[in-house]
Amino acid sequence: MPTLHATDKALASLTADAIIVGIGKGKTRPLLTPGAQALDDLLDGKLPDALKVLSACGGEGEVTRIATLGAGPFPVVAAVGLGAPEGGGYSAESIRRAAGSAVRALHGRRSVLNALAYEANATEGSLDRIRAAGEGALLGTYRYLAHKSKTPPARDAPAQRVDLLVADAKDRALKAELRRIQAVFTAVAFTRDLVNAPPNDLYPAEFARRAEVAGKAAGLRIEILNEKALAKGRYGGVLAVGSGSDRKPRLVRMHHTPSVRAVCKIAIVGKGITFDSGGISIKPAAKMDEMKSDMAGAAAMVATACLIAELGLPVELIATIPMAENLPSGTAYRPADVVTFRNGKTAEITNTDAEGRVVLADAIARACEDEPDWLIETSTLTGAARIALGARTAGVMGSDDLRGRVIAASERSGEAMWAMPLPPELRKGIDSSVADLINANTDRLGGMLVGGHFLSEFVSEGTEWAHIDIAGPAFNSGSAWGYNPKGGTGVPIRTLLTLIEDLIADATVG
């Protein structure tokens, strides 16, 4: 695992295989950030000319690599674009993306000095920018190599050590921040590994086992329900979806009890479909392979539970994670079946490809039995979320207060999310003539919102809840950008941690 450190030593006394500095997009030429200025002082003012001959302009995503040919202690400079400054500075997210882009462009260099968040004196938001520079750099080192027969050559290996250039490396808040960044990176990398894992390796029992190993290491109490326990517990939805596969479903419960008094109780739920073929309502072949990522919500919640325990946050947190494989077979659930859920409600299956809500209904009902103060669920629930918001923005539904808090947290974490309504007229679309509900309607209008409505039926009255549809941002099917690799991204872990910290801060003040 690459590690993050901080240093406040003079640039001239430091060494590293490469240095990252930020440049802004000016009207006529690139603007030097304080870190770039400090490097330029060391290079006798030659940086602007080097940038000019290489046509660097400081736009977002631009990385200009310069060999220093013996001038100064850094063999390579990566000048990375931050875009045009807004309100006199650069956003934390532009710094996070720049750090990721730069680190990816520096593969082959073992140690990297990151001067992106350097400021001689702390100003408003300094720590947010340090967080962004650290997270972006570590996240940019991620690679999924589990199934490569050869390890990549050293000239292509990601950095193993990142040092942040800061004004005061002894600052206590900075030290806590470095631990948080490293823990977030561990959680995101774990989630990316789970999402990228092929479905023949990561089936429900194996997913549950990996959750148990990680959870136990983090100090969580783990409970795994197998098929027998699921039947005994009347988890009709999880069993129905899992019935088409020889790899039987599971429900994992992960419990964090803080060593100090808990300020609130939080339930988290994530969709864990290890492969979604659509079942009898089978999907077309094109891009079906991407449906290995249909457990991204579950992976993020497993990692979040571990992260909250690792950081020792003063909340009681219980994760309820349904895991199943959705396949067609002679034992599969079928259209027209009626399923009875954990809480006694029933649904007529009109489309076996709307399986996420069927496993989540049981999980949400179970989570509500714990009477949480807050219930947060996330899932790659609908293709409609991608149609509405594209592949980089999650849709957030639920009760007004918690939905607003999720959006506010996302604005700080840098994970794009947008509040979505649950229009009452769309609820009628999932009435059934034979059961309480149908699981999917044929009308495609507002598909993301209909999914939200279905889930809301399983949230107990008065519980503050949020549903985050991550069908877009959980998996990057295009090429790498910023700190996001191809494949699993780790969304929405950073928002969940920020949200839980906010809930703790509010409960402590109020």
Interacting residue with Zn ion among 163, 294, 310, 325 (CB under 5 A): 294
For residue 454, the minimal CB distance to Zn ion (Å) is: 13
As a whole number of angstroms, the distance between CA 93 and CA 61 comes to: 12
Window of 109-117, 137-145, 310-318, 380-388 that interacts with ligand BES by CB under 6 A: 380-388
**Residues contacting 467, CB < 8 A, separation 6+:** 377, 378, 379, 381, 396, 397, 398, 451, 452, 455, 456
As a whole number of Å, the CA-based R_g of the chain is 24
Cβ 271 vs Cβ 381: under 8 Å: yes
For residue 14, the minimal CB distance to ligand BES (Å) is: 44
As a whole number of angstroms, the distance between CA 394 and CA 204 comes to: 25
Sort strands 346-348 and 437-438 into parallel, antiparallel or unpaired. parallel
For residue 15, the minimal CB distance to Mn ion (Å) is: 52
With binding defined as CB under 6 A, does residue 476 bind ligand BES? no
For residue 296, the minimal CB distance to Zn ion (Å) is: 10
| Residue closer to Mn ion (CB basis): 93 or 355 | 355
| Residue closer to Mn ion (CB basis): 186 or 277 | 277
128 binds, among Mn ion, ligand BES, Zn ion, none (CB under 5 to 8 A by kind): none
For residue 196, the minimal CB distance to Zn ion (Å) is: 17
Window of 36-44, 157-165, 216-224, 347-355 that interacts with ligand BES by CB under 6 A: 347-355
Cβ 302 vs Cβ 194: under 8 Å: yes
Of the CA atoms within 13 Å of residue 256, those in its CB half-sphere come to 32
Window of 33-41, 225-233, 256-264, 355-363 that interacts with Mn ion by CB under 5 A: 355-363
Window of 115-123, 148-156, 230-238, 353-361 that interacts with ligand BES by CB under 6 A: 353-361
Between residue 252 and residue 281, which ones bind ligand BES under the rule CB under 6 A? Answer: 276
Catalytic residues: 283, 357
As a whole number of angstroms, the distance between CA 190 and CA 144 comes to: 10
The pattern of x and - marking residues 274 through 293 that bind Zn ion according to CB under 5 A reads: --x-----------------
Unique residue bearing structure tokens 């993301």: 448
Is residue 445 packed enough to be buried (19+ CB in 10 Å), middle (13-18) or exposed (0-12)? exposed
| Residue closer to ligand BES (CB basis): 35 or 473 | 473
Cβ 18 vs Cβ 76: under 8 Å: yes
For residue 355, the minimal CB distance to ligand BES (Å) is: 5
With binding defined as CB under 6 A, does residue 457 bind ligand BES? no
| Residue closer to ligand BES (CB basis): 307 or 440 | 440
With binding defined as CB under 5 A, does residue 276 bind Mn ion? yes
Cβ 303 vs Cβ 488: under 8 Å: no
Q: How far is CA 389 from the centre of its chain?
A: 17
* The two structure tokens encoding residue 79: 């000048």
Tell me phi and psi for residue 138, to 5 degrees.
-65, -45
Residue ranges that bind ligand BES, judged by CB under 6 A: 276, 294, 351, 353-356, 380, 382-384, 386, 440, 447, 471
Residue ranges that bind Mn ion, judged by CB under 5 A: 276, 353, 355
